[in-house]
Amino acid sequence: MKIGMSHGAGGEMMQGLISDIILKNISNKQVEDGVGLQDLDDGATIPLGDYEVVVSTDSHTIDPLFFPGGDIGRISMAGTVNDVSVMGARPLAITNAMVISEGFQKDELERIIQSMDAVSQETGVAIVTGDTKVMEHDQLDKMIICTTGIGIAPRGCITRDSSLEVGDKIILSGSVGDHGIALMSYREGFGFETDLKSDVAPVWGMVEAALDVGGISAMKDPTRGGISNALNELASKSGVGMILDEEKIPVKREVHAASEMLGIDPFEVANEGKVIMGVKPDQADEVLTAIRKQRYGKNAQIIGEVTLNGPVILETLLGGKRILETPIADPVPRVC
Ligand code: MG
């Protein structure tokens, strides 16, 4: 069997490849009782005295490198900062390994580094080490950036994606589909791309505000495979179901219009500046208020709650119910 594009696109195909080839052939996956590779969470943890060091790593292959609302530099920083953040850990530092194609423009590289620096300044996350390699122009499409994020949390205070409890409220921090639909529209050259921007942004501010209130039982950033993938992963790992109100899930007018034209479900495409949280019901309103005060959280909503048994059910705008399935793969390739 050969690897296809969908094997790297979130969803069931990628999960299959990870368990069949990767997990099966790695024997040592965990440090002490920390979160390990087998947990397939947003990051791993290394217990160290009274703390847990959180590590998360990500390779960025986005096409094109510059897109409405961001570029590969911004996404390389924000994406990794976000995976550390949704583990409930304060992100501290990031590493930056770049593989660049021969002939790449120096001024474009400088713009990309400046984008990384902007996120570093916004979040206080330092870029502490890196690596630079160059490959022949016909062997690499422009550039790949691999970032590894390091964060820290008090021992036992990690937020997992497998610890939802029945009755928890589900908070979504803002509109869905912005990144995937903006990228796809831009690639297709539809001409309405000026209205559509990626949401790529660091979520740490929202996460920190929510953790300060408390009552957060689980977190995940809905990247590849969109909220359909993230909500199903949270539910299945926690052994629970969900009932969600479609009316409460924010979809921007222009994202809705573009996804109709493209024939893509905005619930199945990547977001790069959003977070989904499970919150204890008596603290959900306070957490929501705290998130809405943050720069990227103004449109946060409580979109539903956790039920005893699966699946994830969506109460539709028309008053019906449908099962929100895990996508086979994100419909937009090379989205991050
Ligand atoms: Mg993630």
- Whether residue 193 is predicted with pLDDT greater than 60 in this model: the reply is no
Q: Kindly state which CATH superfamily the domain 169-323 is placed in.
A: PurM-like C-terminal domain (3.90.650.10)
**319 touches 178 (CB < 8 A):** no
pLDDT in tens, 58-112: 999 999 999 999 999 999 999 999 999 999 999 999 999 999 999 999 999 999 9
317 CA → ligand 1 middle, Å: 28
Domains 41-154 and 169-323 share a fold: no
249 CA → ligand 1 middle, Å: 19
138 CA → ligand 1 middle, Å: 31
- pLDDT tier, 194 (very low <50, low <70, confident <90, very high otherwise): low
Work out the mean pLDDT of the chain and round it to a whole number. 95
49 CA → ligand 1 middle, Å: 26
23 CA → ligand 1 middle, Å: 18
Whether the CA torsion 211, 217, 221, 227 is positive or negative: it is negative
Residue whose tokens read 């550390």: 84
277 CA → ligand 1 middle, Å: 12
Other C-beta atoms within 10 Å of 88: how many? 25
| Domain with residues 41-154, CATH architecture | 2-Layer Sandwich (3.30)
3-class SS string, the chain: CCCCHHHHCCHHHHHHHHHHHHHHHCCCCCCCCCCCHHHCCCCEEEEECCEEEEEEEEEECCCCCEECCEEHHHHHHHHHHHHHHCCCCEEEEEEEEEEEECCCCHHHHHHHHHHHHHHHHHHCCEEEEEEEEEECCCCCCCEEEEEEEEEEEECCCCCCCCCCCCCCEEEECCCCCHHHHHHHHHHHCCCCHHHCCCCCCCCHHHHHHHHHHCCEEEEECCCCCHHHHHHHHHHHHHCCEEEEEHHHCCCCHHHHHHHHHHCCCHHHCCCCCCCEEEECHHHHHHHHHHHHCCCCCCCCEEEEEEECCCCEEEECCCCCEEECCCCCCCCCCCCC
**pTM for the complete prediction?**
0.96
Spell out the domain ranges in the chain: 41-154, 169-323
Name which of 155, 295, 315 is nearest 246 in CA terms: 315
320 CA → ligand 1 middle, Å: 30
Minimum mean pLDDT among 5-19, 196-210, 229-243, 272-286: which range?
A: 5-19
50 CA → ligand 1 middle, Å: 25
**In sequence order, which residues have a C-beta less than 8 Å from that of residue 153 and are 6 or more positions away?**
45, 51, 52, 54, 87, 88, 89, 90
pLDDT in tens, 265-308: 999 999 999 999 999 999 999 999 999 999 999 999 999 999 99
85 CA → ligand 1 middle, Å: 9
- Residue 43 has a pLDDT of 96
221 CA → ligand 1 middle, Å: 5
**98 touches 131 (CB < 8 A):** yes
220 CA → ligand 1 middle, Å: 6
107 CA → ligand 1 middle, Å: 31
- Residue 294 has a pLDDT of 98
Question: Phi, psi (5° rounding) for residue 134?
Answer: -125, 140
314 CA → ligand 1 middle, Å: 22
pLDDT in tens, 130-173: 999 999 999 999 999 999 999 999 999 999 999 999 999 999 99
* Residue 223 identity: T
191 CA → ligand 1 middle, Å: 31
Structure tokens given for 149:
């994020």
161 CA → ligand 1 middle, Å: 10
Ion ligand 1: protein residues whose beta carbon lies under 5 Å: 42, 83, 221
- In percent, the amount of the chain with pLDDT more than 90 equals 88
- Whether residue 211 is predicted with pLDDT greater than 90 in this model: the reply is yes
